[in-house]
Amino acid sequence: MRGIKKSAEKEIQRIEKVFEKLEIVEKADKNAAEFYDFAKRYFEDGKWFFGKEKFIEAFEAEIIAWAYVDAGLKLGFFSVPKELKGNFTAKN
């Protein structure tokens, strides 16, 4: 269980850094706001699961949050600073 706990913790920290600097590019676009909301909720759920020592669920939630951010970047909904772009498949 230590491995998954450490992995979940690492993902929480990684996504937390992303949310500190992530910006919604199209503020008026309903889809952009929804993508952000989904990503943020999964991020928060991951932290909640981690606190309940449900490390697999925490890890899964953080990966889903990452996927929403990555998709949002590809669709042009979000932007992140250059130093964080290496964490994503989108290179916008």
Q: What is the mean pLDDT of residues 38-56?
A: 98
| SS3 assignment, position 88 | coil
pLDDT tens for 60-85 read 999 999 999 999 999 989 999 999 88
CA pair distance 56, 70, nearest whole angstrom: 21
Q: Which domains does the chain have, with CATH numbers?
A: 2-87 (1.20.1270.90)
Task: Judge whether residue 43 has pLDDT over 80.
Answer: yes
| Owner of token pair 């993902």 | 11
Whether residue 1 is predicted with pLDDT greater than 70 in this model: the reply is no
Is pLDDT of 8 > 60?
Answer: yes
Q: Name the percent of the chain lying above pLDDT 90.
A: 74
| Residue 2: Cβ within 10 Å count | 7
pLDDT of residue 5: 94
55: pLDDT strictly greater than 80: yes
